[in-house]
Each structure stands twice: as C-alpha cells, then as structure tokens.
Chain A
Amino acid sequence: MSANQNPHPGQEVTATSSTSPERFEDPGVPAHKPRLTDTDPQAARRNERIVTIIFAISCLGAIASLVAYFAVRPDGTTEGTRLSTALLGVTMAISLLGIGVGAIHWAKSLMSDHEHVDERHELASPPEVRAVAVQHLADGAEDSGIARRGVLKGAAVSALALFPLTFAVPLISSVGGDWDVSKFRHTIWERNRRLAYDPSGRLIKASDLTVGSVAHVIPEASQEEMRSHEWITEKAKAVVLLVRLNPEDLRSDQSPEGETWSYDGIVAYSKICTHVGCPVALYEQQTHHLLCPCHQSTFDMADGAKVVFGPANRPLPQLPITVDDEGYLMAQDDFAEPVGPSYWERLK
C-alpha cells in the first residue's frame, strides 16, 4: 500500500472513504415539475371523476359479492364449487382493488406532490444524557448493594436459574410419550405372519405374482386392528414392497446364507427409505430399479436393494419370506435390522 496516499497515516486501522480532495456540490432537491392536474383544473376535475367511478365500481363489486353469496349455492359438484369460489373471489377482488386503485390514483393525481424535507437527528443520545443515564444505573446498583452482597447475589441468581425447571421438567417428561426409542428397532412382522395387499388386506399367494409384477404389502391384520393409530404407526414401519424377478436375474439376497430370504424369485424389501424415510415405491420392472420419488435414491431390487444412485447410503432391509402350506406368502421373521432412516443408536 502506498501510505503517502492515505489521509490518516497515523491511525491504527483505517479505512479511507473520501479519496478526492474535492467533491462535487450537491445540486439540491430537483425543482418541482407541475403535473397536468396542477395546471389544468379540467384535468383535475376529470381525475376526480375517475377516482369516484373507481370507488363506485368497488361498491358494485361488494354488492355483487353478496348477491353471489346468496344466489349461487354450490350444488356439491366440482363445477358448482368452482363457480361459487370464482364468483365470490372475483367480486371480492373487485371491491378490494377498487378501493386500492382509487386511493392510489387519488394520491398520485390530486394530492400535493411537492417534496418535503425532514431533518434527521443523530440516534445516539447526547453525552450529557448518557452521563445522567450511567449515573442513574450506578445509583441504582449502589442502592441495591449488589456489588457488596455477594451471597445474596448468588442466591438470587440461583433462584432465577432454577425456577424454569418447575415448568420445563413436567413439560419435557410428558411431551415425548414414554421416550422408549428402542421401538425403532422392531416392526410387527414376526414368524408366520402372512403378507397382504395394501390397502385391500387380501392375502397373497406366491402363484399370484407374475414376473415383472409388484405388490405393495402390509402385514395381515383384521379390519378392526387397521382402524387405529397404533396400526398407522406400525404400518409406518412395516410396509413392504414385493416383486417377482426371473430367478436368473436375481443376483443376491441380503441374507448371509444365500437365497434363503426370497422365494422362487420373489423378494420383499422394506418400503421405508434408508435416507429420510419416504416410502420408496417407483418400481421400474425392466431395470429392477426402485426409485424414491422424494429424493431419488435408487435401489437395485435384483441385487440386495443396494443403492445405485442418490442420497441414500444403505440398502433397504430385506424381509425374509417363505410360503405356508396353502401357498400363501408369510414372513420368516422380523427385519434383521431397524428399518428407515439412520439414527444415532441404530447399531447399539
């Protein structure tokens, strides 16, 4: 830096703002240019009329809105609701826009457009005021004796620090239900629970599935069971996607023992994405790829549901399946690992 150019070379950390020795003069507020309405009384009267008419249109809009409300009753069809909504809204908009446009046109064309100048005052309080303020604070502190009475200060601070707990502890202890986060680990799948179509609840025979078909699956449950919050919460973990592949296309199961978790090319994987938990459901039968519509993680159903694209890191957990004596598909067991997104204690 060429220090000789710096107007304040002695200062510690300096920014130079005015560089030229002399600057241009402020020419001042530009002269007022009269509008047509300022010079021509006829134009002023015309604009007055325009504003009046706009306000009148607004009145008509409000009245039309009431008419529409009482005269056009929606008849329960899509068309009827659409008509009622449109009429009520458009008339409402006319009444509102009328006021807005009228008021602004009034302000622009008829109210004075001479510019005013207000002075600004420095925001900081003057030094003498500051001095008095500081003195007040000092006096107050002195009165209270806070500096001298250390134990009292500690007691007061402790009391203030503790009282929020009387509120926070009851709230927090109840707000999380039973706080039993180990529930993430299990679903209602268990040995011999049969697979059923979602949402009909019909059971699935292995022979029902043709190659290239997909089935969205829930655990078998009664209609009563399925009408409860407990069910919805369980379903949120238990939904499964079932596809049938050509056995020669099936490259691997997740099972360590080989092909014991699938049945004759039929594989079942958790539908809950291992990324952030969306239901992964876009099955492309030609490529055996399963795509999540939320963040586009792509899993290869023929290869242990491994991730082939997108933000997910882990394969989808596989549900081990087999068939019962009647040929219905059923689970061998629960998933071997927690379904859905990762969490801190997942592997504990």
Chain B
Amino acid sequence: MKALAARRHHRAAPVVLLLLALLVTGGLYAVLAPSPATAETASTATDVEEGKRLFQANCATCHGPNAEGSPEAPSLVGVGAASVDFQVSTGRMPMQMTGPQAAEKPPQMDPEQTAQLAAYVASLGAGPAIPTDEQVDAALGDSANGALLFRTNCAMCHNAVGAGGALSEGKWAPPLYDVSERNIYQAMLTGPQSMPVFNDANLNPEEKRDIITYLVEQREGSAGGLSLGSLGPVSEGLWAWVVGLGLMIGAAVWIGAKSS
C-alpha cells in the first residue's frame, strides 16, 4: 500500500496522466466522430438547377458564369461528373487560395450539394461519370496485378505504397492512405491538376480496381512492425540514428558514469 502511494507521487506521474487523458480523448473522438455519408448518384433536373445555382455562387468567379473558364481557371465543359466529385468531395474546390497546387481540406459542400454541382457540370458536356460502387470495390480486384500496374504508372510520384512524394516547384503527389476508393478511381480517370489522365484504354476499369485493391491492402501496415511512414531509406536512416544510436549512446553514458 505504502509503495503504491509512493509510486503515485512519482515525478513523471502528471506527464503519464496527461498522456493517458489525451489518448482516451483521442480514442473516444475517433470512435464517436460522425462518419462521412456516402455520395448519392442519381441526378434529376432539379439537381442540375440547384447545381447551377451553387456553381454561380461558389465557382463562377474563377471558372466563369457558364463554366467556360478564364485565365485563372480551366473550362469545365466536358470534364464530367467524376472530376467535379473528386475536386469538391476532397475539398480541393472551391479553392482557398492560389498556390502551386490546390490542397486537400475539409469539403466545403455536403454530399448532396456535391452531387448537384456534378450533375450541373455533367449537363454542360459529356465527360467521365462517377464510378459505381462495384467499380471501386477493393474486394473484387486482384492486388498482384494492381501492384504491377501501380509500380509502373503511379509509384514514381505517389511512392511504392502510396505514401506520397514531391513534384517540381512546390507541387506534390499526395499520400493515398486516406483517399477514398471512389476518389482514387476518379483521379486516375480525370487527371486532376499535375496528374496525367489514365483513361480506360490505358488502364481499363478492372485494372483501375486492381490498383485500388493493392492500395487498400497497404493500409494493413507493414509485416515487419511500425511502417515509419513507408518513406524508404531516408526515414529508416533517421530512425537508426535517433533510436539506435540514441539508445546506445544513452547506455554508453550510463556505462561510463561513476556509480554513486
């Protein structure tokens, strides 16, 4: 009992308690936070009308009143619903500020508004449609073929397991761990920003799904333990110095210190 009481007054006790409290709060938030609703696909004439209204209010400043484009922003005629859904549901559009590249941020439109915008833009000209749930179902794909295709077509920008990478002049290829299957498919199909287009002749719909399966499989983490960001030898080297050399030099200082 006495020993227990002594332990409770340990120097590190407040720190440990604080860490525990943070962990519990974070964990509870993760469990209880509302999960994002899934996108709806059916579109009607009223959707197009509503979408047009949203477009005039949020997008027309840059893309022009009829989405015909301007010196600052491309024309959206013919980009298709897939492109709009990708840009808006990942929060890239409406854009916060001009920069090397539109960054991902919390979406500004709810799923219904996104669908309405997509319906409006799709009505302006034929373009890639939003993929069906079956087209992006990771359970139906072949991850081995996905790995092969990802390596040749995607890994040079997005890293071998989709951890992201740098492009020139401050642009970057984002990490793919948290990107929804639907958005991955749409990105390949429409080639947002710096990304090239992988149309269905280049990567057919099954091949796109295989890539999604491969990427979803990577979310299990590494078989060897902590993944260290899957960034390759640089992060490994950094950890070798910090953890390996750090612990060993710590031990050496203890070995060399005089006992009291």
Contacts and interface: CB of A to CB of B under 8 A. Distances in A.
A and B touch in the complex (CB under 8 A): yes
A18 interface: no
Contacts of B132: none
Contact of B225 (A86, A212, A213, A279): A86
Contact of B168 (A78, A213, A215, A284): A284
Contacts, number: 94
Given A79-B220, A82-B224, A287 B194 contact: yes
A208 B259 contact: no
A282 B157 contact: yes
Q: Which 10 A-B pairs have the closest CB atoms?
A: A208-B201, A214-B196, A81-B223, A281-B156, A284-B194, A213-B197, A108-B259, A285-B196, A78-B220, A78-B223
Interface in A258-295: 279, 281-287, 289, 291, 293
Interface in B30-80: none
Nearest to B171: A284
B260 interface: yes
Contacts of A293: 156-157, 165
9 contacts: A35-B259, A78-B221, A79-B220, A85-B224, A108-B259, A200-B149, A200-B207, A209-B201, A293-B165
Nearest to A293: B156
B191 A285 contact: yes
Given A104-B254, A108-B255, 18 more contacts: A78-B221, A82-B222, A82-B223, A85-B224, A108-B259, A199-B152, A208-B201, A208-B202, A209-B202, A212-B191, A213-B198, A213-B199, A214-B196, A282-B156, A284-B167, A287-B194, A298-B168, A309-B168
B10 interface: no
B259 A199 contact: no
B220 A205 contact: no
Contacts of A78: 220-223
B148 interface: yes
Interface string A181-222: 000000000000000011110001100111011111000000
A324 interface: no
B109 to A, nearest CB: 24
A325 to B, nearest CB: 19
B2 interface: no
Contacts of B149: 199-200
Contacts of B222: 78, 82
Nearest to B220: A78
A313 interface: no
Given A35-B259, A36-B260, A284-B171, A216 B221 contact: no
B220 A213 contact: no
Question: In the complex, which of the residues B167, B258, B259 has the most CB atoms of chain A within 10 Å of its own CB atom?
Answer: B259
A286 B149 CA distance: 23
Question: In the complex, which of the residues B156, B167, B194, B195 has the most CB atoms of chain A within 10 Å of its own CB atom?
Answer: B156
Q: How large is the interface on B (under 10, 10 to 19, 20 to 34, 35 or more residues)?
A: 35 or more
B239 to A, nearest CB: 15
A342 interface: no
A287 B193 CA distance: 10
Contacts of B153: 216
Nearest to A198: B152
Interface in A86-122: 86, 100, 104, 108-109, 113
Interface string B129-159: 0000000000000000000110011001100
Contact of A243 (B168, B196, B223, B259): B196
B202 A197 contact: yes
A291 B168 contact: yes
B148 A212 contact: no
Given A285-B194, A287-B194, A82 B199 contact: no
A50 B148 CA distance: 56
Interface string A54-93: 0000000000000000000000011101100110000000
Contact of A283 (B152, B196, B223, B255): B196
Interface string B222-260: 111100000000000000000000000001001101111
A286 B196 CA distance: 8
A285 B259 contact: no
Contacts of B223: 78, 81-82, 85
Nearest to A33: B258
A209 B153 CA distance: 15
B197 A210 contact: yes
